[in-house]
Amino acid sequence: MTDFPALEAQYLDTPTLEKLAPPRISTHPPRILLLYGSLRERSYSRLLTEEAARILQRLGAETRIFDPRDLPLPDSVSPDHPKVQELRALSMWSEGQVWCSPERHGAITGIMKAQIDWIPLEVGSVRPTQGRTLAVMQVSGGSQSFNAVNTLRLLGRWMRMITIPNQSSVAKAFRSSSGTVA
């Protein structure tokens, strides 16, 4: 390594196909946690989340949807609150996540942010979400926008998740008459 004197060869591990192979092959379907950011009875983010769950199940994934009702605001109670524990357990169970928020005032909802804020940034010295796959979606009451998905993408990156390039932004979601968004 004479052409790069600042690099010490012992610290540069050259990849091989064997080194890139997963340490173990999964024996179960992919586990996907889905979060949505509205408490409305006819929540379009919930409807879109349910539609995504149906598609993921059809593709062979095991899905769980977290119901954010009764989840307290972050730091208002101890992390041993039952809804916080439920969310954290589902997050640990998951291998990938789908986040869907309505866009409210150009951003994600407080309900969505509260769920993300209750997922711990570290357990020991590791971020429990690190390396998990993330898909992001949003619903809007008006014209198409990408503010909420951009915020979700940024939060996922902060949590060291791998956000897929595709995203969904459903404008004028209220126009859906079939009971589903798509």
Going by pLDDT thresholds of 50, 70 and 90, the confidence category of residue 168 is: confident
The C-alpha atoms of residue 181 and residue 29 are separated, in whole angstroms, by 26
Please give the DSSP secondary-structure letter assigned to residue 175.
G
**Is the Cα dihedral 140, 51, 55, 26 positive or negative?**
positive
| Region 111-120 average pLDDT | 95
Report CA-CA distances (Å) from 167 to 135, 141, 145. Answer: 7, 17, 12
pLDDT the model gives residue 178: 56
Residue 113 token pair: 């942010």
* pLDDT tens, position by position, 39-82: 988 888 999 999 999 999 999 999 999 999 999 999 999 999 99
3-state secondary structure of 15: coil
Residue 172 token pair: 């004028």
Place of tokens 């929540």: 43
Residue 152 token pair: 């979700």
pTM of the full structure: 0.84
Q: Is the pLDDT of residue 7 over 90?
A: no
Top pLDDT among 17 and 143 is at 17
